[in-house]
Amino acid sequence: MKILVTGADGFIGSHVVETLVKSGHEVRAFVLYNSFNSWGWLDDSDKSVRESIDVFAGDIRDPHGVDNAVSGQEVILNLAALIAIPYSYHSPDTYIDTNIKGTLNILQAARRHEVSRVIQTSTSEVYGTAQYIPIDEKHPLHPQSPYAASKVGADQLALSFHASFKTPVGVLRPFNTYGPRQSARAVIPTIISQLATGREVKLGSLSPTRDFSFVQDTANGFLAAAMSDAIIGQTVNLGSGFEISIQETAETIARLMNVELKLANDEQRVRPESSEVERLHASIQKAKEVLGWQPQLKGLEGFKAGLKQTIDWFSNPTNLARYKADRYNL
C-alpha cells in the first residue's frame, strides 16, 4: 500500500516509517524542508529503510506542496505537528498555522485526490486533567494549553470533513509516547540525559501522573490504523492503560541506571497552575475492539522494559551528545 507519513522526520514519525517499511508498504516520507538536506531522525534509520522510502521535503503549512505530496497516495498518516507545550505559551500563533492550517491542507488534498484513508494524530492533552479514569474516547475535551487547543481544533476539523464530505478520516489519540529519539523537551529524556551526565535532575511538578506508551507500541497502533476501515469517523486512544507519577518515573529511571537521584524544582519548568494536566490514564478498550491493537509493554514491568531500551539508546555517547542536558529546552 502507498502511504504518506507527514512528520516522518520526527520522533514518532520516524518509528512509524520504519514499521511500515518493514511491513512491506511503499512509504512517502514528508520531512520539513531545511537547507541542510536533513531527514531528521530518518537519517539514523537503517540503510535498507532509507533506500526504500520516497522522501518529500516540504512544509505542511504550504497547500501546494502538500497537494503534490498527497498525489498518488492511498493512505495518509498525518503526524506533522508542533508539540512542545511550553513553546505554545511563547508562540501560540505558530501552533494554529502548523497544527490547524496544516491539517486543513492535508484534508483538502485528501479530498481532491480521493485518498482511501486519512489518520489524524491527536494527543491525550486534549482531555486535560482526567475527570474520571480510565479516560475513554467519550471523556470531555478540556484543553489546558494553546498546544492542546490547537490539537482539539485539528481533530474536530478532521472529523468535520468526514461528516460534511464523507472524507475517510479517523483520529488516533496517543497518550504519552516515549522511547529512543524522543525530544529533550519531554520528561523522560530530560531525566535520563541529566542522570547520564551526572547532574541533579531539574524538573517541574512531580505529582502529575502520566500514561506512558512505548514508541514501538504507538507505531504498531499507526500500522493497525492505516489498515483499518473501522476507524473511519472514529477517535481511538492509544496508551498503556497504566499511570505513574513524574516523581515515581524519575525514581524508577534512577534505579534502572543504578545512580543516585537528586531532584531539584526548576520554576521555569512548572506550568501555570490552571494549565497543568494533573492526571492521565488511558482506556484502550476501543483500540482493542476497533483496531485489534494492544500494547506489548504493559503495567510497571512493561514500563521498566521500555525504559531500559530508552536508557540504552541515550547511554550511547553519540546519541547523548545530541542533547543539551545542562540547558532547559523550551
The three grid cell numbers given for residue 329, joined into one nine-digit string = 529546552
In this structure, what C-alpha cell is assigned to residue 99?
497544527
Q: What percent of the chain is modeled with pLDDT above 70?
A: 99
d(CA 264, CA 88): 24
Q: b/e for 218-256, b at 16 or more Cβ within 10 A?
A: bbbbbbbbbbbeebbebbbbbbbbbbbebbebbbbbbee
- Segment 74-107, tens digit of pLDDT: 999 999 999 989 999 999 999 999 999 999 999 9
What's the CA gap between 254 and 277, in Å, rounded? 24
CA distances from 87 to 30, 91, 94, 148 (A): 23, 6, 10, 12
Q: Is residue 306 part of a domain?
A: no
**For residues 119 and 183, which has the higher predicted lDDT (pLDDT)?**
119
Q: Nearest 5°: phi and psi at 162?
A: -70, -45
Residue 328 pLDDT grade (very low, low, confident, very high; cuts 50, 70, 90): confident
Nearest partner of 29 among 19, 200, 272, 121, judged by Cα = 19
Report how far residue 182's alpha carbon sits from residue 133's, in angstroms, rounded to the nearest whole number. 27
C-alpha closest to that of 188 among 83, 270, 278, 306: 306
Runs of H (alpha helix) within the chain:
11-22, 47-52, 63-70, 85-90, 92-95, 102-113, 146-165, 187-196, 215-226, 246-257, 285-291, 299-315, 317-320
Render pLDDT for 137-148 as a digit per residue (tens, 0 to 9).
Answer: 999 999 999 999
With 80 as the cut, is the pLDDT of residue 303 above it? yes
Domain-located, residue 57: yes
Residue indicated by cell numbers 483520529: 171
327 pLDDT tier (thresholds 50, 70, 90)? confident
- CA 310 from chain centre, in angstroms, equals 16
- Taking only the tens place, the pLDDT of each residue in 2-58 is 999 999 999 999 999 999 999 999 999 999 999 999 999 999 999 999 999 999 999
* Structural domain that includes position 37: 2-181+213-241+281-296
Q: Is 259 within the bounds of a domain?
A: no
248-294 pLDDT, tens digit per residue, is 999 999 999 999 999 998 888 888 889 999 999 999 999 999 999 99
Cβ–Cβ under 8 Å, residues 98 and 60: yes
Please indicate, yes or no, if residue 44 is contained in any of the structural domains. Answer: yes
- Phi and psi angles of residue 43, each rounded to the nearest 5 degrees, phi first: -60, -25
19: nearest Cα among 232, 283, 293: 293
Residue pLDDT, tens place only, 221-235: 999 999 999 999 999
312 CB-near residues (< 8 Å, 6+ apart): none
Residue 280 · residue 243 · CB < 8 Å: yes
Q: Could you tell me the CATH number of the domain that includes residue 54?
A: 3.40.50.720
The mean pLDDT value for 167-191 works out to 96
Q: Is residue 154 part of a domain?
A: yes
Angle of the 11-22 helix axis to the 215-226 helix axis, nearest 10: 60
| pLDDT band (50, 70, 90) for residue 68 | very high
Per-chain mean pLDDT for the chain = 96
Question: Is 72 inside any structural domain?
Answer: yes
Residue 234 placed within a domain? yes
In whole angstroms, give the CA distance from residue 238 to residue 278.
Answer: 19
Q: Residue 12 domain-assigned?
A: yes
Contact 143, 99 (CB under 8 A): no
As for how many domains the chain has, the answer is: 1
